[in-house]
């Protein structure tokens, strides 16, 4: 390795409103190395990559390329400096054809086509519109486009997440090829097996800071996990006495052979009152669609959802689901929050669903609001616009909405994504409390390590089907990961 | 709809404290602008600072303010109504036509025309998801055609309203000090302000405009809210049209055409976001008054229509820019 | 992920083609059907009618193209009508009693002025972050006011040659339809080619389709916005020049401005341009502009009175939008 690193980022900081995405992150990539960037959800990996590619202007910190200070003002400048990025969301224009997209970025289609050929995608129609192409193809197309620039540093943000095993192999071949030519790759992935197999060094981020630089082969998977997780949020797992009594508890919601397109392919499970049922899955295994079906946002192609007392849910819109007490906390607060409105209005929206409630305000509105705020200890100082609250408080508002209006089944889709540890604990604690109070909770979380801390049971979803079910106390992260990868997934 | 998260792309605009204060108290700015405008007008024409001078401004602003109420309600939902002008004209025609049957019938039928047209708008926007701009534009075009045709047949000669409506729209009481239409406007204002703040329906209007996806997921049936909102907008536009007919004394197809864009402008000046979720009717009332004073002032200055329009546009642009800076969103 | 389909898309069938070209083709077929029907209804259909339709639809066609370019790039310009009357007024003042050569130079000047002015509007939008619709609502008033300052009452004029350039005759009425057809098709095809084949044109589509992806692809989205407004301004100016050539004198009524704006929006929607940006073409918008114009003579030839024609026009737009809305909804459900 030469004395000057190819890329050196020092003290990069970035905040969005009240949310701190990066505190102070350092990263060094040497020429000719494959470098992994690791971290739990919300650790700041994507933000760092975006800062390095000119998408976000850092609030503080410096970026050096080949030892020289470099102001990455926009993606174009980054590309000219030899930094090419394949983002999590493909940077392709949906309404233009492949060929037009290439012309837009001034890349010769022959070169891109050569790269596609090497990845077994020679048959992509360059006259097809991007929106008609499947996601894996778009990822690889984006990769081919980045490669066509022959960048000195190729940054890949979760590129393998939506790829099949053989497609991923093509990506690995490309990475090896870059390395053999003395070029570098910055590789972001959740799959530690890939890191152990491919990467020379790894930088681990936690809470917006780099906490460790290591050689993956030396520390092993356990060492990487340890570095990524740090102090695991410690909620006290409930006593197994609760578990025993659950078998007696009435079923609050049951699905029978639920199907929807290719996403959900025959899912049956039952959720009991008083239970927190976990759902564990890798990205895009059908969990999004499953929650859409349960919350009434979409109708199933086949199958049934049965509620307590044997009534079918059969929701045509979320209204029907909410009316029958099945309510959703989505992961993306942009889908749940009224950012311009005060906390109070955010909490009370569902109270006015029915036309008969339109003519006045609920008499007990204030009590409901106050008790929800109290129970969740929401910080109301910035209460005039919910958008000004911190991420954690915003999520509390979203949960609080259902506390204020009442429910029987709470669907939580990754409710702690990008939330600080303290608030996470509060939310988990609340979910437990709600369940102990007789509510049924279905919880999908991308943070597998936390499932045993909150859940009673856990289902593992893979490719639209439930492939495993176990009591949560046994569900270590390792066990869940193995199950979540299905059986076909090969891990080196 | 996907439940997947996409990281915020918008860079943070760190807000100075005064902008937060201002965005929480927008009426202070507007009130000051209004007072300054009144005083400046008074300097230009000392007679203006009298009961009759101010009376004229209110007389001008009342129909505009009511029509802007329609616009405010819809803009809060993220919509807009480009047919308010024609709905007002249509209602005025019907009221004129029915005038011989007495004011009550005339006004009721006029208002019903507005509700009907508004309901159709609401069905288009709420149920068929037609873009509000297009839906109301088309409604306007339909009404123009319809009423032009009718003005040659059924409505021929229906160009004047009866005395009651004339008085309501143009007359004054308490020794010619307070216009009756101001009384109507006050009543309407109180209802709208109350409705927006203290009813469930008002809450849903704001919620729908702020975040339609979240509102749907909260179990709100948006189409119902939209149909009622557009019907109410139609009702208000019709009321404005009837008052206008009373003031001008004559009904023709051009009656309310020049009120459409000012009605949007009054709401924008009043701080209602065109994207929905933010705004108050009190702001719109001040907006309508500002536009009224402005028109009076420019008349005193003998400024031609050209200058009026330029000043007018600049005020809308300037205030919108200020709001965008202050709130960071618009 | 065994279910993920791999790269092959050659089997994407006629449905994709229909979605991409269907609307455009449909609008042109509708136009042709209207014209054929018109020709068969009236006693004599000849070069006079062709010339009349071609030249009289020019202002709306240019305005539809202007609006289409801006909307495709993700904006909307309520002031295109004002820009039309401003250009019309300026040209009428400067061209009055001038020789053909001078009037041509004035025309170029007016187009450049309109492009610069509207480009500045685009700049204001991207700097102020005020929504397009609010900014252009303001400029609708401001620019119409400027037009009124330039030309307080109808008047002014132009050279005979300039009139012939757009209408085929020095008096504005005649049977020579070629100039009008050239003026119709050359700018339209030019704009269409530029939009789809130049990198700048593609950057407009990109910005309107997905501003985030466009930015990540290295597109300067602020510049794209400014360019779209400048090009829109230039086409609005063309519309003003065309109406000057048709009538032979200028006028700057506010009602004309707001009317033209509303019609331009109707035209692009009917022409298949999505108000959300990124979808549609100037060719479709132009065709819809002609359709909206032709509809009234066609309906009157059928014995429908003009007011009913107006009702039909409005109902047609609503119907088209409802169908489009339902199609869109079903596609989303299917996805």
For residue range B166-184, list pLDDT tens digits in order: 888 888 888 778 899 999 9
Number of domains in chain C: 1
What is the per-residue pLDDT across A1-49, written as a single tens digit (0 to 9) for each?
456 889 999 999 988 766 678 889 999 999 999 999 988 766 788 889 9
Residue at token pair 């709130």: B327
Residue at token pair 């981020």: A205
* Calpha distance C96→C94 (Å, rounded): 6
Nearest to A411 by CA among A234, A252, A248: A252
pLDDT at A376 over 90: no
Nearest to B84 by CA among B72, B99, B76: B72
Could you tell me the residue range of the domain that residue C260 belongs to?
A: 25-36+46-334
The answer to the question of residue C145 being in a domain is yes
CB contact under 8 A, C262 and B129: no
Average pLDDT on B195-202 reads: 95
CB contact under 8 A, C216 and A91: yes
What is the per-residue pLDDT across C159-209, written as a single tens digit (0 to 9) for each?
999 999 998 888 878 888 899 999 999 999 999 999 999 999 999 999 999
Q: Look up the CATH number of the domain holding residue B116.
A: 1.10.3470
Number of domains in chain B: 1
Chain C interface test: which of A53, A78, A87, A96 (most C C-beta within 10 Å): A96
* Calpha distance C295→C308 (Å, rounded): 11
Q: How far is A115 from chain C (nearest CA, A)?
A: 14
pLDDT at A283 over 80: no
* Calpha distance C139→C77 (Å, rounded): 9
Locate C36 and state its tokens: 């054929």
Start-to-end CA distance of chain B, whole Å, equals: 24
The answer to the question of residue B298 being in a domain is yes
Query: What one-character DSSP code corresponds to residue C221?
Result: H
DSSP string, A451-481: HHHH-SEEEEEETTEEEEEEEGGG--HHHHH
* pLDDT for A241: 41
- Report yes or no: A240 at the B interface, CB cutoff 8 Å: no
Asked if A396 contacts A347 with a C-beta cutoff of 8 angstroms, the reply is no
Backbone phi, psi, residue A18, to 5°: -95, -5
* Calpha distance A159→B47 (Å, rounded): 74
Could you tell me the residue range of the domain that residue B144 belongs to?
A: 26-327
The answer to the question of residue B7 being in a domain is no
Provide the strand spans (E) within B139-183.
Answer: 172-173, 178-179
The answer to the question of residue C131 being in a domain is yes
Q: In what order do the strands lie in the sheet with A209-214?
A: A68-69, A60-65, A7-16, A19-29, A209-214, A201-206, A34-39, A184-188, A153-157, A83-86
Distances (CA, A) of C249 to A85, B54, C99: 57, 42, 15
- Report yes or no: C123 at the B interface, CB cutoff 8 Å: no
Locate B328 and state its tokens: 């960071």
Start-to-end CA distance of chain A, whole Å, equals: 27
Q: How far is A380 from chain C (nearest CA, A)?
A: 29
* Calpha distance B299→A427 (Å, rounded): 62
Chain C interface test: which of A46, A82, A99, A104 (most C C-beta within 10 Å): A104
The answer to the question of residue C134 being in a domain is yes
Percent of chain A residues topping a pLDDT of 90:
37
- Report yes or no: C262 at the B interface, CB cutoff 8 Å: yes
Q: How far is A463 from chain C (nearest CA, A)?
A: 6
Asked if B208 contacts B223 with a C-beta cutoff of 8 angstroms, the reply is no
Torsion C222-C224-C227-C231 (CA) sign: negative
Q: How far is B309 from chain C (nearest CA, A)?
A: 5
* Calpha distance B162→B95 (Å, rounded): 9
Element (H or E) spanning A277, and its range? strand A276-280
Provide the phi-psi class of C97: left if phi over 0, else alpha when psi is between -120 and 50, else beta: left
The answer to the question of residue B283 being in a domain is yes
Per-window interface: C 27-56 vs B, CB < 8 A = none
DSSP string, C238-289: HHHHHHHHHHSSB---HHHHHHHHHHHHHHHHHTT--TTSS---HHHHHHHH
If you average pLDDT over every residue of chain A, what do you get?
85
CB contact under 8 A, B277 and A338: yes
The answer to the question of residue C158 being in a domain is yes
Residues on chain A touching B201 (C-beta within 8 angstroms): 352, 358-359
Q: What is the ipTM of this complex?
A: 0.84
The answer to the question of residue B112 being in a domain is yes
Chains contacting chain C through 3 or more C-beta pairs under 8 A: A, B
Percent of chain C residues topping a pLDDT of 90:
59
Residues on chain A touching B219 (C-beta within 8 angstroms): 318-319, 321-323, 327, 350, 353
Residues on chain B touching A334 (C-beta within 8 angstroms): 5-6, 211, 213-214
Residues on chain C touching A135 (C-beta within 8 angstroms): 4
Cβ-based neighbours of C173, under 8 Å, separated by 6 or more: C52, C167
pLDDT at A450 over 60: yes
Burial (CB < 10 A; 0-12, 13-18, 19+), residue B190, is exposed
The answer to the question of residue B3 being in a domain is no
Cβ-based neighbours of A482, under 8 Å, separated by 6 or more: none
CB atoms within 10 A of CB A60: 13
The answer to the question of residue C11 being in a domain is no
pLDDT at A483 over 80: no
Most confident of A73-77, B146-150, C72-76, C320-324: C72-76
Runs of H (alpha helix) within A363-419: 365-376, 391-405
The answer to the question of residue C8 being in a domain is no
At residue B12 the predicted structure's pLDDT band, cuts being 50, 70 and 90, is very low
The answer to the question of residue C160 being in a domain is yes
Number of inter-chain CB pairs under 8 A, A vs B: 133
pLDDT at C335 over 60: no
Pairing of strands A251-260, A264-272: antiparallel
What is the per-residue pLDDT across C14-32, written as a single tens digit (0 to 9) for each?
666 676 777 888 889 999 9
Per-window interface: A 338-397 vs B, CB < 8 A = 338-341, 345, 348-353, 355, 357-362, 384, 387
Asked if C81 contacts C267 with a C-beta cutoff of 8 angstroms, the reply is no
Q: Look up the CATH number of the domain holding residue C53.
A: 1.10.3470
The answer to the question of residue C41 being in a domain is no
Chains contacting chain B through 3 or more C-beta pairs under 8 A: A, C
Asked if A415 contacts A337 with a C-beta cutoff of 8 angstroms, the reply is no
What is the per-residue pLDDT across C27-76, written as a single tens digit (0 to 9) for each?
899 999 999 998 888 888 888 888 889 999 999 999 999 999 999 999 99
CB contact under 8 A, A323 and B218: no
The answer to the question of residue B21 being in a domain is no
Q: Where is average pLDDT lowest: A68-72, A487-491, C85-89, C111-115?
A: A487-491
Backbone phi, psi, residue A75, to 5°: -55, -30
Q: Where is average pLDDT lowest: A38-42, A237-241, B266-270, B325-329?
A: A237-241
CB atoms within 10 A of CB C64: 34
Higher pLDDT, C262 or A296: A296
* Calpha distance A352→B219 (Å, rounded): 9
Chain B interface test: which of A349, A355, A412 (most B C-beta within 10 Å): A349
Average pLDDT on C250-264 reads: 87
């Amino acid at each position: 390795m030469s004395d000057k690193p190819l890329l050196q980022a020092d003290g990069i900081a970035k905040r969005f409103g009240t949310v701190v995405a990066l505190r102070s992150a350092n990263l060094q990539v040497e020429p000719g190395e494959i470098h992994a960037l690791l971290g739990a959800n919300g650790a700041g990996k994507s933000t760092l990559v975006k800062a390095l590619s000119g998408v976000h202007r850092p609030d503080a910190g410096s970026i050096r390329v080949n030892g020289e200070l470099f102001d990455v003002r926009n993606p174009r400048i980054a590309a000219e400096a030899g930094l090419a990025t394949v983002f999590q969301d493909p940077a392709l224009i949906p309404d233009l054809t492949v060929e037009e997209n290439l012309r837009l970025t001034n890349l010769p289609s022959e070169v891109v086509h050569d790269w596609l050929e090497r990845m077994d995608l020679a048959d992509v129609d360059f006259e097809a519109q991007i929106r008609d192409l499947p996601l894996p193809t778009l990822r690889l197309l984006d990769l081919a486009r980045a490669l066509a620039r022959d960048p000195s540093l190729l940054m890949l943000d979760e590129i393998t997440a939506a790829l099949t095993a053989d497609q991923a192999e093509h990506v690995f071949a490309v990475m090896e090829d870059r390395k053999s030519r003395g070029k570098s790759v910055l590789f972001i992935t959740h799959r530690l097996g890939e890191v152990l197999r491919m990467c020379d060094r790894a930088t681990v981020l936690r809470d917006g800071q780099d906490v460790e630089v290591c050689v993956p082969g030396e520390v092993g998977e356990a060492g990487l996990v340890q570095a990524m997780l740090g102090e695991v949020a410690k909620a006290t797992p409930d006593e197994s006495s609760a578990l025993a009594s659950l078998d007696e508890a009435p079923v609050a919601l049951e699905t029978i052979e639920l199907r929807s397109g290719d996403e959900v392919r025959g899912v049956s499970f039952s959720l009991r009152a008083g239970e927190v049922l976990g759902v564990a899955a890798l990205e895009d295994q059908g969990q999004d669609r499953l929650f859409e079906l349960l919350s009434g946002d979409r109708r199933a192609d086949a199958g049934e959802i049965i509620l307590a007392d044997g009534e079918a849910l059969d929701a045509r819109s979320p209204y029907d689901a909410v009316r029958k007490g099945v309510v959703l906390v989505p992961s993306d607060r942009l889908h749940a929050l009224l950012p311009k409105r005060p906390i109070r209005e955010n909490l009370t929206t569902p109270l006015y669903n029915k036309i008969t409630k339109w003519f006045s305000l609920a008499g007990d509105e204030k009590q409901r609001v106050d008790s929800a705020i109290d129970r969740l200890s929401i910080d109301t100082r910035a209460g005039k616009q919910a958008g000004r609250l911190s991420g954690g408080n915003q999520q509390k508002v979203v949960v609080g909405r259902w506390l204020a209006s009442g429910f029987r089944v709470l669907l939580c889709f990754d409710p702690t994504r990008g939330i600080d540890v303290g608030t996470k604990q509060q939310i988990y604690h609340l979910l437990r409390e709600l369940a102990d109070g007789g509510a049924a909770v279905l919880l999908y979380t991308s943070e597998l390590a936390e499932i045993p801390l909150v859940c009673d049971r856990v289902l593992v979803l893979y490719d639209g089907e439930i492939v495993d079910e176990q009591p949560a106390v046994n569900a270590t992260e390792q066990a869940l990961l193995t199950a979540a990868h299905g059986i076909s997934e090969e891990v080196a | 709809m996907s439940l997947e998260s996409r990281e915020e792309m918008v860079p943070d605009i760190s807000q100075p404290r005064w902008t937060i204060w201002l965005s929480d108290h927008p009426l202070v700015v507007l009130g000051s602008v209004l007072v300054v405008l009144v005083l400046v007008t008074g300097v230009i024409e000392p007679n203006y600072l009298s009961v009759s001078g101010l009376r004229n401004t209110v007389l001008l602003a009342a129909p505009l303010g009511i029509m802007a109420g329609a616009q405010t309600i819809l803009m809060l939902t993220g919509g807009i109504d480009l047919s308010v002008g024609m709905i007002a004209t249509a209602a005025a025609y019907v009221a004129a036509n029915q005038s011989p049957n007495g004011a009550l019938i005339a006004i009721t039928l006029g208002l019903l025309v507005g509700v009907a047209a508004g309901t159709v708008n609401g069905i288009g926007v709420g149920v068929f998801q037609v873009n509000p701009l297009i839906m109301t534009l088309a409604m306007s075009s339909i009404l123009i055609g319809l009423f032009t045709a009718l003005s040659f047949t059924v409505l021929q000669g229906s160009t004047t309203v009866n005395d009651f409506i004339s008085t309501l729209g143009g007359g004054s009481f308490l020794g010619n000090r307070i216009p009756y239409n101001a009384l109507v406007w006050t009543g309407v204002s109180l209802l709208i302000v109350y409705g927006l703040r203290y009813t469930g329906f008002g809450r849903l209007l704001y919620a729908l405009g702020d975040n339609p996806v979240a509102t749907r997921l909260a179990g709100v049936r948006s189409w119902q809210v939209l149909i009622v909102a557009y019907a109410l907008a139609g009702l208000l536009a019709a009321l404005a049209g009837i008052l206008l007919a009373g003031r001008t004394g004559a009904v023709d197809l051009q009656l309310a055409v020049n009120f459409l864009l000012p009605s949007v402008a009054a709401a924008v000046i009043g701080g209602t976001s065109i994207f929905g979720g933010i705004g108050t009717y009190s702001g719109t009332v001040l907006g309508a008054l500002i536009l009224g004073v402005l028109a009076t002032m420019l008349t005193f200055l003998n400024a031609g229509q050209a200058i009026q329009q330029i000043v007018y546009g600049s005020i809308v642009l300037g205030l919108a820019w200020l709001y965008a800076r202050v709130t960071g969103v618009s | 992920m065994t279910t993920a389909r791999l790269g092959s898309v050659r089997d994407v069938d006629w449905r994709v083609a229909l979605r991409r070209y269907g609307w455009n083709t449909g609008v042109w077929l509708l136009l042709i059907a209207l014209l054929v029907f018109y020709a068969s209804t009236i006693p004599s259909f000849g070069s006079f009618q062709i010339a009349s339709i071609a030249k009289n639809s020019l202002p709306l066609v240019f305005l539809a193209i202007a609006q289409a370019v801006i909307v495709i790039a993700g904006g909307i310009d309520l002031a295109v009508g004002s820009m039309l009357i401003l250009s019309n007024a300026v040209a009428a003042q400067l061209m009055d009693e001038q020789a053909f050569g001078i009037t041509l130079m004035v025309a170029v000047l007016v187009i450049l002025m309109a492009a610069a002015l509207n480009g500045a509007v685009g700049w204001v939008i991207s700097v102020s972050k005020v929504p397009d619709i609010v900014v252009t609502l303001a400029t609708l008033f401001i620019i119409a006011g400027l037009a009124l300052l330039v030309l307080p009452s109808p008047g002014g004029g132009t050279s005979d040659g300039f009139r012939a350039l757009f209408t085929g005759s020095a008096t504005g009425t005649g049977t020579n339809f070629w100039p009008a057809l050239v003026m119709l098709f050359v700018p339209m095809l030019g704009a269409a080619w530029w939009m789809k084949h130049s990198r700048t044109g593609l950057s407009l589509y990109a910005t309107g389709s997905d501003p985030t992806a466009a930015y990540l692809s290295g597109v300067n989205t602020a510049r794209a916005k400014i360019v779209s407004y400048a090009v829109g301004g230039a086409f609005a100016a063309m519309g003003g020049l065309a109406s000057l050539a048709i009538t032979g004198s200028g006028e700057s009524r506010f009602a004309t401005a707001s009317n033209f704006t509303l019609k331009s929006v109707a035209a692009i929607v009917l022409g298949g341009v999505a108000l959300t940006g990124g979808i549609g073409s100037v060719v479709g918008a132009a065709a819809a502009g002609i359709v909206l114009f032709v509809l009234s003579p066609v309906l009157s030839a059928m014995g429908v009175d003009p007011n009913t024609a107006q009702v039909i026009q409005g109902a047609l737009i609503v119907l088209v939008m409802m169908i489009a809305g339902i199609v869109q909804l079903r596609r989303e459900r299917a996805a």
